[in-house]
Structure 1
Amino acid sequence: MPAKDPLIETLKVCILELQAEDTVTDSSPQLASCCELLELILRKGLQQPVLSLTHRDYWCCFEQLVQLDTCGRLSAVPLAVQQTTACPKLLTAQGRGRYFIRLILSRKTLGNVINHLLHTSNIMKNCSFLDESWLLPVCETYEAVPCRELGMVLRYLDRRVFVLELLRGSLAQADMFVEPGDIIDEINGISLRNSSNRQAGVVLSRLKGQPLSLRLLRWRCKNGAVYRPLVPLLRQLKQENPLLQFGSSLPEPLGQRDGQSQSQCVRDGRILYSVQLLGKTNIGMYGGKEVLQYAIPAVLQKRQSKKSVLLDVKETHLICMDKSNNQQLFQHHFPEISCVGRFSQPDFTIFGFCVGDTPDMGFCCVVLQAASNTECEEIVHRIGEEPDLTRNVF
Structure 2
Amino acid sequence: MATRDPLLSNLKAVLLRLKENKQPITDGDPDLLILCDTMECILRKGLKKPGSLFGLYKRDYWCWMESMTTAPGSARLHPMFPIAIEACKSSNKVRSHQGRGRLLLRICLHKKILAVPIEQLLKNTRMLETWYDPLLSIIGSELLVESLTSLLFWASEIQFDLNIKNASFLDETWTLPVYRQYEFVPCKDLGVVIRHIRNRVLVAEVKPDSIGAHKDRLEPGDILDELYGESLYGSAKGGKIPSILRQHEGWPIYISVIKCHLRTGKVFYNIKDHLAVLRDEYAGFKVPIDRDPNHNSKSSKDKDQRDISHKLSGSSVHKVKYVGCTGVGKEGGTSVIESAILRVLEEHGRNPTTYKDVFLELGETNLITWEASDEDRIIMKHCYPEISSCGRRVDALLYFAYVAGDTTCTISKQFKCFVYLATCDKEVSELFHLFFSASQNTRTFLMQGSSVGMETCIAIRFRPF
Question: Larger strand proportion, structure 1 or 2?
Answer: 1
What TM-score comes out, normalization by structure 2 length? Answer: 0.29
TM-score, scaled to structure 1 = 0.33
Higher RCO structure (Cα 8 Å, ≥6 apart)? 1
Which has the greater radius of gyration? 1
